[in-house]
Structure 1
Amino acid sequence: MTDGTPTPRRWFVTGANSGFGLALVHAALAAGDEVVAAVRRPDTMRELAAASGGRLSVVDLDLRDHDRLGAAVEAAGRIDILVNNAGFGLVGAIEETGEAELRSAMEVMFFGPLELTRLVLPQMRARRSGAIVQLSSMGGMLAFPGVGAYCAAKGALELASEALAGEVAPLGIKVLIVEPGAFRTGFAGPASLQAVETRIADYDGTAGATRNALPTAHGTQEGDPAKAAAAVLEVLGWKEPPLRLALGNDAVDEIRAKLARVGADLDATEELGRAMTV
């Protein structure tokens, strides 16, 4: 990094044993950095840690267990780059999604990441350097039938992070929201993709179609997680990095289309919207 952060940098990556998290671990180690891998199953990182020459350490962390978050950050010590990556897919129509299922998604992909961010910020403020990387999704900028709860969690994290970026920029701290499309991360596989318990036949053609289609893409997505990790490292090194980084042809195209639809809605309703003053 070019902001005075020491080399090697020290990363704290949640969900580091698979997908984007594991790709970022490999990229950070290859760059000569140190990594703290925060995972629910520490044994999955044992071999990589043993081969890292002491540059990879592992902490046990479940983002639903808020009592563990402070202990994990304290055990990590200095954190130059926090990567909130842990998450899972949840598929089902809004009416089909129960409160417990919705709350679980929000705990892992919104409340947990924000709590970790709050815990890490004091040391970054003290050093006037650091970076917060929020692994969101193109689903943080748009939504489609069947993934409303997932997109709601990612969208909430994005808006909070947008505010955060304005708050910490004068303090020398960067915020990067990463919005991947379809990548070969295991997201659509049985270990990460959860379907809601309730089924309502009226949604078979909308949310049901998404529920049926996602598993068929598992392992065949065009996105390469290693290239995504390399892009994140590159952008973090820019003197003036963007707030958002869309990754993948589908993410770039779908986000552009969403922005165009928002613009079209504004154009169609502008006269009515501006007629609200006395």
Structure 2
Amino acid sequence: MMDTDRVWLITGASAGFGRDLVLAALAAGDRVMATARRPRQLDDLITIGRGRVRTAPLDVTDNAQIAAAVAQTIVEFGRIDVLVNNAGHGSVGAVEELDLADLRALMDVMFFGAVAVTKAALPHMRAQRGGAIIQLSSMGGQLSMPGFGAYCSAKFALEGLSEALAAGVAPFGIRVLIVEPGAFRTEFGGHRMHRSPIIEEYAVSTGSTRAAVDAMDGTQPGDPTKAARAILEVIDSADPPLRLALGNDAVDLIAAHHELLRTDLARWEKLSRSTDLD
């Protein structure tokens, strides 16, 4: 269980889960370094925080800004107890429709950016022998679907790295939590959603995904305020999980995917086991 009066460093704090986590941390009595590419979007959080919020510009693809934000957090608050890698955006398009430059840009933010921020914070967490790293993934970090190949590839990569990270930092008292939300009423699906150019033939497989994305903003069933509170409950737990699914849809779809994997593994087990050297 973590101490109270924690210090948080949160990326992508201007909207969505990032903003709600700032508010939840403040409600818990903690202090927050809230970051965003445009820090003026965070001015109201400074007012709400009443001295417990600082802000910094942070584009997670800019190594100099990463180093500066981490250093400012240490100067202002003396430590970093909880790092939240939240910065990112959605993407929709069939794999053939993806522009590779767009895919690389998405990976730079949602995977390499998260890795870079984590690496910058870890020396301080190791030195203090404690902390928590919260990786905002998605149910799309465990399963994918037509039209979400780019987005899910970034989340798959983040989850794979985070499993190794969790084992690697455990001896230093540092925890890792992979958060896997379903559809929550954030701005996902709105202006933060990148849309690849359309190849008409893919309407048969990705058309419904594109239509759902266009209609989802403001209709999602998940409550991001409740999600933020759930995340705080987990990091306060004496026995937290590595992964936390959030939302009925996430629980149901991840469970169904696990069952599909189990069924395929069992069905082809004999052939799979036959490939070792005699």
Q: Do they superpose with TM above 0.5?
A: yes
Structure 2 counterpart of 1:61, from 58, 61, 78:
58
**Structure 2 CA distance for aligned equivalents of residues 160 and 177 of structure 1:** 11
Does the CA contact (< 8 Å) of 1:92 and 1:208 recur in 2?
Answer: no
**Structure 1 CA distance for aligned equivalents of residues 205 and 62 of structure 2:** 34
Given the alignment of the two structures, is residue 247 of structure 1 paired with residue 233 of structure 2, yes or no?
no
**Structure 2 CA distance for aligned equivalents of residues 32 and 241 of structure 1:** 21
**Structure 2 CA distance for aligned equivalents of residues 267 and 24 of structure 1:** 41
**Structure 1 CA distance for aligned equivalents of residues 118 and 44 of structure 2:** 28
* Secondary structure of 2:32 counterpart: strand
Given the alignment of the two structures, is residue 210 of structure 1 paired with residue 209 of structure 2, yes or no?
yes
- Give the residue type in structure 2 aligned to 1:39: A
**Structure 2 CA distance for aligned equivalents of residues 66 and 211 of structure 1:** 34
- Give the residue type in structure 2 aligned to 1:243: L
1:89 alignment partner in structure 2: 90
**Structure 1 CA distance for aligned equivalents of residues 237 and 29 of structure 2:** 18
**Structure 2 CA distance for aligned equivalents of residues 99 and 184 of structure 1:** 29
* Secondary structure of 1:184 counterpart: coil
- Give the residue type in structure 2 aligned to 1:138: M
**Structure 2 CA distance for aligned equivalents of residues 116 and 63 of structure 1:** 7
**Structure 2 CA distance for aligned equivalents of residues 194 and 222 of structure 1:** 22
1:47 Cα deviation after fit: 2.1
1:63 Cα deviation after fit: 1.4
1:8 Cα deviation after fit: 1.0
Q: If the length of structure 2 is used for normalisation, what is the TM-score?
A: 0.96
**Structure 1 CA distance for aligned equivalents of residues 128 and 60 of structure 2:** 26
1:75 alignment partner in structure 2: 72
Deviations 1:243-262 (A, max 9, x none): 00000000000000110010
**Structure 1 CA distance for aligned equivalents of residues 184 and 115 of structure 2:** 24
Structure 2 counterpart of 1:40, from 37, 54, 72:
37
1:193 alignment partner in structure 2: 193
Structure 2 counterpart of 1:14, from 11, 16, 35:
11
1:206 Cα deviation after fit: 1.5
Q: If the length of structure 1 is used for normalisation, what is the TM-score?
A: 0.96
- What do you get for the CA RMSD once the two structures are aligned? 1.0
- Give the residue type in structure 1 aligned to 2:67: G
Does the CA contact (< 8 Å) of 2:60 and 2:116 recur in 1?
Answer: no
Structure 2, unpaired ranges of 5+: none
2:181 alignment partner in structure 1: 180
Deviations 1:228-247 (A, max 9, x none): 00000000011110000000
1:67 Cα deviation after fit: 2.6
Which runs of 4 or more aligned residues in structure 1 lie more than 3 Å from their structure 2 counterparts after TM superposition?
none
Correspondence 1:147-166 to 2 at 5 A: 147-166=148-167
1:28 alignment partner in structure 2: 25
Deviations 1:189-208 (A, max 9, x none): 12x11101x22111112123
Percent identity between the aligned chains? 54
**Structure 2 CA distance for aligned equivalents of residues 45 and 95 of structure 1:** 38
- Give the residue type in structure 2 aligned to 1:33: D
* Secondary structure of 2:97 counterpart: coil
* Secondary structure of 2:96 counterpart: coil
**Structure 2 CA distance for aligned equivalents of residues 108 and 66 of structure 1:** 12
Structure 1, unpaired ranges of 5+: none
Correspondence 1:106-185 to 2 at 5 A: 106-185=107-186
1:226 alignment partner in structure 2: 225
**Structure 1 CA distance for aligned equivalents of residues 58 and 231 of structure 2:** 23
